[in-house]
Structure 1
């Protein structure tokens, strides 16, 4: 009997708002909120700021891996890991290594910007990292992301294996 009284009271509360003289309560939705399809805001392209050694790659390693002597090294002001710019003795850039640490969506977007999914070859090297690589008329790029980290290597050499070798060394040296 007690249940009937409670049900009757609940029904009268429910129907009280349907009399037409009062505004009904606003409807609520249990559907999940729509997610934004907008691309994440990417940080600006790094610029060389200071002539100093790359903190995570040695010039001898880069010279051996890329097949060219290194004339100068400059680094960006980015933190915690600057982008390293390796120059040939004639002053032209031969190789850059960009490291991003932060939001996973931004890391993935940076990799997709450097090695677009539509045109690049997919890669999963080193294990656990995902991205792409491709050769262009200006050289090659190797770009991979894992969690909130991205490593993007561009080289003036056509062989993407050179960029991959440098990316793997940077990832190992940084411990990311």
Structure 2
């Protein structure tokens, strides 16, 4: 008899658990959005000769320590990338400006001067990014909101790129 009561109690307990499981809704799958990197614009290409609209050629020559033989610009609007060449035709400096989405500006800066390898900077005030020397020169890249300025130079001293970045930001009024 005890056995029969024990089996009956166990059956009721299992039936109650099964009913509760059916009544309890299944947990929904995670609906957290997947983290995706922003789509970056393609690297700019020089397409026409002409002055840089926001940066004086003499300023680049003084800051980088090399004469400028030619200036070319990309097709980007309203702020083209400016390519400065030495008199022998070798590229000495590029100044890229991006204005748009904040996430894209930050990603462009991180691609040019990766957080993991570059030295952090907050110059000019309000701008954040990084700089580093490389085998082929140096880079100085900063962003502020949806704006980015990335300067590469064939010189090893990043201070040259920083000086030109500050001049470009001033010339752009951003």
TM-score calculated relative to the size of structure 1? 0.82
Structure 2 equivalent of residue 113 of structure 1: 111
Task: Pick which of 34-43 and 52-61 moved more.
Answer: 34-43
Structure 2 equivalent of residue 173 of structure 1: 171
RMSD over equivalenced CA pairs, Å: 2.0
Structure 2 equivalent of residue 57 of structure 1: 55
User: Hey, what's the Cα distance between the residues in 1 that align with 2:70 and 2:31?
Assistant: 51
User: Hey, what's the Cα distance between the residues in 2 that align with 1:162 and 1:143?
Assistant: 12
Return the offset for 1:37: 1.3
Return the offset for 1:80: 1.2
- Give matches, 1:8-23, under 5 Å: none
Unaligned runs of 5+ in 2: 1-18
User: Which one of the candidate residues 138, 144, 147 is aligned to 1:146?
Assistant: 144
User: Hey, what's the Cα distance between the residues in 2 that align with 1:114 and 1:150?
Assistant: 11
Equivalenced residue count is 152
Off by >2 Å, runs of 4+ in structure 1: none
Bigger Cα Rg: 2
TM-score calculated relative to the size of structure 2? 0.83
SS at match of 2:130: strand
Unaligned runs of 5+ in 1: 1-19
Name the structure where helix makes up a greater proportion of residues.
Answer: 2
User: Hey, what's the Cα distance between the residues in 2 that align with 1:114 and 1:153?
Assistant: 9
Deviations 1:54-85 (A, max 9, x none): 00011111000000000000000001100000
User: Which one of the candidate residues 90, 93, 105 is aligned to 2:91?
Assistant: 93
